Amino acid sequence: MESRFPAMLVLWLGREFYRDLKDIEPYMEDEFLLRFLRVSKFDPSEAVQRFQKYYRQQEILLDAFKGSSFSFQKVRNLNHLWISPYRLQNNSFLLIALAGVDYTKFTFAERFYLEILAFNKLLENPVNQMCGVTFIFDYEGFNLRSLLAYTPGWVRCFLDALMNVPCRLKAIHIINTPSIFSSVYKMAYPFVPKKMQNRVFIHPNNDNWRSLHNLVPADILPEEYGGKLEHGKLINCLQNIEELEERFRKTLEFGPIKTKHCRKSMKFLY
């Protein structure tokens, strides 16, 4: 954990930059601002750039979800995001996303919105901000209907949001890929920054998990991935969805001035 005195000193300097931002009503709560400073290694200039990108991305997301509404009762059954109770050696947390969602029952927008809610909550932990996240995207069950849900617009929106969160992205591991996954990869690859392209690992389906275990210890993986954890010990990121949305809506009280009315009137879950 960073020393509190230098953290507050840099935070004060960062505030001076934030006050100069035009056309944005920024959220000035200390812990929120510290997210951007921590992930920027306390470089105020880089933190401000990340801050601006965050609010540009917020504007894009508001437009993407415009007119959308999701049923609490329906999305409670999605349960596709899980966290290992143990961290990797680099102290990043391990987030497992089940990409083979049944798109006869759910839309990409519903899935994506729940991921935004969950990640917003996870970023309240300063250790997660500084030490970052390691993803496992499990594509078991991904089929042609799934592919049709992955439109270029949604894929780009998802990747842009992922790259602009105030959290260090340590690695992305992709497993259980069907043959049609190559179409998704070709669609997504141009939108992934070069720095991140070297952190994306697609693991073979027939090596008894050896490739995955070389990079993610079996001790922190569930049994379905050749690990030593019972699935019941994983943490469901989508518990208490109502509370997650309430926390997220608080962040929407701030942002670009031109989206103020939209931000304050928008509610997706009912």
Per DSSP, the three-state class of 148 is helix
130, 39 in Cβ contact below 8 A? Answer: yes
Query: Rounded to whole angstroms, how far apart are CA atoms 40 and 53?
Result: 13
Q: What is the pLDDT of residues 2-55, one digit of tens each?
A: 555 555 655 665 566 566 677 888 887 888 888 888 898 888 788 888 888 998
Which tokens go with 165? 């969160």
| Sequence-distant (≥ 6) Cβ neighbours of residue 101 within 8 angstroms | 78, 80, 111, 146, 149
In the chain, the domains with their CATH numbers are 4-67+249-265 (no CATH), 72-236 (3.40.525.10)
DSSP 24-80: EE----HHHHHHHHHHTTT-HHHHHHHHHHHHHHHHHHHHHTTT--B-HHHHTTT--
H runs (alpha helix) in the chain: 4-19, 30-39, 44-64, 72-75, 108-122, 126-131, 144-149, 152-164, 181-188, 194-197, 210-213, 241-251, 260-265
Q: For residue 238, which of 104, 49, 112, 134 has the smallest C-alpha distance? A: 112
Per the model's pLDDT, the better-predicted residue between 102 and 71 turns out to be 102
Mean pLDDT, the chain, whole residue set: 89
Q: What is the pLDDT of residues 122-154, one digit of tens each?
A: 999 999 999 999 999 999 999 999 999 999 999
For the cut 90, the answer to whether the pLDDT of residue 65 exceeds it is no
Query: Rounded to whole angstroms, how far apart are CA atoms 221 and 180?
Result: 26
User: For the chain, how big is the Rg over CA atoms in Å?
Assistant: 19
Q: What is the pLDDT of residues 206-251, one digit of tens each?
A: 999 999 999 999 999 999 999 999 999 999 999 889 999 999 988 8
Confidence class for position 180, pLDDT limits 50, 70, 90: very high
For the chain, percent of residues with pLDDT exceeding 90: 56
pTM above 0.75, yes or no: yes
